[in-house]
Amino acid sequence: MQDRFAPSDPARGLDVTRNPLVARLVRNRHFQFFLILPNQIVFWAVIFIGILGTTVPGLNFGAAITWYIWFCLVFVMMVVVGRAWCSMCPFGGFGEWVQRHSFWNRSERSVGLGLKFPEPLARIGFLIPVVSFLLLTWLEEFFNIAGPGNPAATSFMVLGIVGSALAFFLVFERRTFCRYICPLTTLIGTVGSMGTVAGFRTRDRDICLTCETKDCMRGGEHGYGCPWYTWPGSADSNLYCGLCSECYKACPHDNVGLYLQKPLTSVVAPNRRRIDVAWGIALLWGLVLYQQVNALSLFGSLDTRLNNAIAFPHYPDPVDYLGIIALLALATAGAAWIVAKLLARRDLDLTTPGTFLERGSRFRTFFAPIAYGLVPVIGADYFARQLPKFFKHSTRLVPAVQHVFGASGTQSKLYTLRLLTNPRIVVVQVSVIALGTLAALWTTWRITNRELVPVSRNGVAIRVVTLGLVLVCGLAAGVLYVLMHAAS
């Protein structure tokens, strides 16, 4: 059993809750409330100012903070920490406050129906949130929300997320919305696995296994059961740890700690590769490449032609949007299929029956590890995609805040200030991609050696092919950034 978890268990010394101050902070029931509260204030301000404030996007606090700052910060948090955003998310936080009928106390009654998420939907795991992310991104493009266009559109988008989150919190139990629906959960979960926070894990697995009450799962005197359906006793990655600290508070044996880990550990170490995560990665890869391709002039004419053909009003045409994403995701999967076809050992039967999440096949045996290995380059690509807005417009936040109080305007120097200009932005973007590619080469190397070499006929060939695939992806993203000229 220890062998099963040895690769993913953080070192004992990396438990930050061994520090009494940290322990006291994390154990405090106000802890998460005060993480959520500032974001809650900001996002309600976004909603109201977006609707009631100026229609100049760069001067509207709602639009400025959302698209110039927030998205970039979320990515930094993902890469460094993991699901840090989830622990302070105002959307889930608001729903949770209502559901628990409490801001911070451990309440015994909940508001709402408390239903379980329907099994047939739960069985497809990350695919629902990926689809909701694709839908949200398409709506952003269609209504030019993220441009940013009319600031009110940003408000309505945020309001829509808050409303749908609240509805799910009132209908379903725990953080069903965050785990199964939230548009960002796949992105944060996968990219966050690069982070250096392992999440809340067991200190002694034997104690967890013999625990009679499993308060960390069911809820105890001091804490709720894990809202994310994660058990510290068997967590082998930070994929589903929302860093809410409820398990830490609930554990009657003081057997849960908040652990740090080396970067990329949660990409490389987990024993159990999830096929829904693999498809999620492939689709996210398709989406980010689409967002690069659509900045090319060539794409504009293609989109216009397709819109004319199907009488669709304007960009983005749903056919090319979904077509390109699907094509790129299928190309990634197809590459894995070819690799499996050519290099899998014939003497091994890799087929096992089961549901979508359980089934085993030769294709899945290769596709899942290959997709996991690509996470760093995809994470880098999403991050690089946000940089132009940050470098060109982030300083607008200051005049936007001043404008709320009637001061400042487009004539402010900060409104037109650029932190970096175009050629330099491209350099930074390509550097980020290069860094991501290097990280992906390392993760792929580790994953290939551990998981693919034993099932391949030729160890050298499989290493060359998987690393080559990473290089191709990194190269494609880098070249596209050069061609885009830092378009935002």
Quick one: 13 or 20, whose CB is closer to another protein? 20
Cβ density class 327-345: b for 16+ within 10 Å, e for less? ebbeebbebbbebbeebbe
Enumerate residues 156-175 that contact another protein by CB under 8 A.
Answer: 173
Is residue 15 at the binding interface for another protein, with CB under 8 A as the rule? Answer: no
Quick one: 90 or 225, whose CB is closer to another protein? 225
Is residue 209 at the binding interface for another protein, with CB under 8 A as the rule? Answer: yes
Is residue 138 at the binding interface for another protein, with CB under 8 A as the rule? Answer: no
Is residue 193 at the binding interface for another protein, with CB under 8 A as the rule? Answer: no
- Quote the CA–CA distance of 427 and 431 in Å, as a whole number: 6
Is residue 303 at the binding interface for another protein, with CB under 8 A as the rule? Answer: no
Is residue 353 at the binding interface for another protein, with CB under 8 A as the rule? Answer: no
Distances (CA, A) of 409 to 45, 145, 217, 413: 19, 21, 52, 9
Is residue 24 at the binding interface for another protein, with CB under 8 A as the rule? Answer: yes
Using the contact rule CB under 8 A, the part of the chain among 80-88, 221-229, 317-325, 430-438 near another protein is 221-229
List all residues 6 or more positions away from 211 whose beta carbon is below 8 Å from its beta carbon. Answer: 233, 252, 253, 255
Candidates 270, 69, 99, 256; CA nearest to 171 is 99
Quick one: 109 or 346, whose CB is closer to another protein? 109
How many of the chain's residues bind another protein (CB under 8 A)?
44
Using the contact rule CB under 8 A, the part of the chain among 118-126, 192-200, 318-326, 428-436 near another protein is 118-126
Q: What angle do CA 131, 134, 139 make, to 5 degrees?
A: 125
Binding mask 227-266 for another protein (x = CB under 8 A): --xxx-xxxx---------------x--------------
- Quote the CA–CA distance of 59 and 147 in Å, as a whole number: 13
Quick one: 237 or 291, whose CB is closer to another protein? 237
- Quote the CA–CA distance of 186 and 134 in Å, as a whole number: 11
Is residue 103 at the binding interface for another protein, with CB under 8 A as the rule? Answer: no
Is residue 9 at the binding interface for another protein, with CB under 8 A as the rule? Answer: no
Is residue 1 at the binding interface for another protein, with CB under 8 A as the rule? Answer: yes
Enumerate residues 408-447 that contact another protein by CB under 8 A.
Answer: none
Taking the complex as a whole, the smallest distance from the CB of residue 326 to another protein amounts, in Å, to: 23
Quick one: 209 or 464, whose CB is closer to another protein? 209
Which residues are registered as beta bridge partners of 284? none
Among 2, 13, 20, 313, the residue binding another protein under the rule CB under 8 A is 20
Is residue 276 at the binding interface for another protein, with CB under 8 A as the rule? Answer: yes
- Quote the CA–CA distance of 38 and 54 in Å, as a whole number: 23
Candidates 365, 338, 351; CA nearest to 453 is 365
Using the contact rule CB under 8 A, the part of the chain among 205-213, 312-320, 342-350, 400-408 near another protein is 205-213
Quick one: 221 or 347, whose CB is closer to another protein? 221
Q: What angle do CA 262, 266, 272 make, to 5 degrees?
A: 145
Q: How many residues does the chain have?
A: 488
Angle between helices 422-447 and 362-373 (to 10 degrees): 140
List all residues 6 or more positions away from 10 whose beta carbon is below 8 Å from its beta carbon. Answer: 198, 201, 259, 260, 261, 265
Longest dimension (CA), the chain: 74
Interacting residues with another protein (CB under 8 A): 1, 4, 20, 23-24, 27, 30, 105-106, 108, 116, 119, 122-123, 125, 173, 208-209, 212-215, 217-222, 225, 229-231, 233-236, 252, 271-272, 276, 354-355, 357-358
